Amino acid sequence: MLYDKRNKELLEKDTVTLKKLEKETDDFIKEQIKLLKQAYERYNSISELENQSNELEMKSTAFSRSVKKTSKKLKDKYYRTLFMILFVVLVVFSIGYFTNK
């Protein structure tokens, strides 16, 4: 009898301890899942930021090339216009010079 009573007390004590451990384990697992989700979200946001950075870098490079091409075209137009003005001035002075002779 005494043996059964002692076993019963130990069983109840072990059951309480086991339930407490189960609760702590569940809480620990929930916390780990929460931390894992946060890490995954950070990884995703870092990946998104890297993708945006790469996209901006590509756009910047394309814009830089476009600016270089445009400046070259403007420079060519400037020299072409300057040459035409000088040519017209030369023709006008030539006509004036030959008509005065």
pLDDT per residue over 7-44, tens digit each? 888 889 989 999 999 999 999 999 999 999 999 999 99
Tell if the pTM clears 0.75, that is, is over it: no
Could you count the other beta carbons within 10 Å of the beta carbon of residue 28?
10
Residues 69-73 have a mean pLDDT of: 92
Q: How far is CA 71 from CA 49, 56, 58, 81, 83, in A?
A: 32, 22, 20, 15, 18
